[in-house]
Structure 1
Amino acid sequence: MSDFRPELPPIAMIRADAEKLSRIANSSAGAFAQTAEFLAREIDRAQVIEESQRLPGLVTMGSRVTFRDDVTAAVRTVRLVYPGEADVSQGTISVLTPIGAALIGLSAGQSIEWETVSGGRRSLTVLAVEAVN
């Protein structure tokens, strides 16, 4: 890994999401080591809030998120789900993917940059968030 240290935006997570995601990150450390580590770091730095404190536009589990890949300018809409529920053909993406781990806790208008497994850089910007129950 390089010395690449992007400035990370402030993020927030609902307590129930943070607790479940922490268990997932810990149990996935072997099979998905780098993404699990990235997710664990995101959980650690997040402001943990109660469901009642959730503001519109916050990316939580189950949210439908429209984001722009800042490298390619491609815009995608996905629903953020737990591992095992992901199906790209249905527009769902696992939180245990680099993009999923990057999205959790962001709010509409925020951007995040991270280093890929191959040493490249990815960046995305959240354009819109819709809560889905």
Structure 2
Amino acid sequence: MKYKNLIIEKKEFVLLKRYMNLMGYYKDETLLKSVKKLQEELGSAQIFDEADMPKDVIRFNTKITIVSQNGWHRTFKLVLPKDSDVKNDKVSILTPMGAAVMGYAESDSISWEFPSGEQILTIEKVEQDNQYININMVL
């Protein structure tokens, strides 16, 4: 891991904590495992102000290209649940894939549980398209 811990922007951290508190009510076991793992990682995350965020760290509205150990590639944008649109490659933070990549950096490898089983993913490319998130308007 490039930065030793997840790196999360301060407002996004607050929003993630709110989402994680709501997720305990979901019944999907894979999603619950993802949420629990993300919660654990958030416990040791480094929290940065907007101006100090490294450009290679995945956050909301980041376009990510990943490759799996099996060789498949995927490019998608990590979005808030209300903006999720799988057909247009917009993946919600409240999915196993979204939870897996949040706070990681370009070139990091991640081992994560998906419905198809555990996968090892490498983040090939990170492109920022960050927009101000008003956390009071989201939930």
Identify the TM-score tier after normalising by the shorter chain: 0.7 to 0.9
Q: How far apart are the structure 2 equivalents of 1:52 and 1:110?
A: 22
CA RMSD of aligned residues (A): 1.7
Gapped regions of structure 2 (runs ≥ 5): 132-139
Q: Which runs of 4+ in 1 moved over 4 A?
A: none
Deviation readout 1:77-99 (Å, 9 max, x if unpaired): 10001123211111100111111
Q: How far apart are the structure 2 equivalents of 1:11 and 1:22?
A: 14
Gapped regions of structure 1 (runs ≥ 5): 1-8
| Identity of matched residues, % | 28
Paired residue for 1:74? 72
Aligned pair partner of 1:90 in 88, 91, 100:
88
Instruction: Note the 1:37-48 alignment, pairs <5 A.
Output: 37-48=36-47
Contact residue 39 and residue 96 of structure 1 kept, 8 A: no
Paired residue for 2:122? 125
Q: How far 1:34 moved relative to its partner?
A: 2.5
Deviation readout 1:82-126 (Å, 9 max, x if unpaired): 1232111111001111111110001100011023467x3211111
What is the identity, as a one-letter code, of the residue corresponding to 1:30? Y
* Deviating more after overlay: 52-61 vs 34-43: 34-43
Taking structure 1 as the reference length, what is the TM-score of the superposition? Answer: 0.84
Count of residue pairs the alignment pairs up: 123
Taking structure 2 as the reference length, what is the TM-score of the superposition? Answer: 0.80
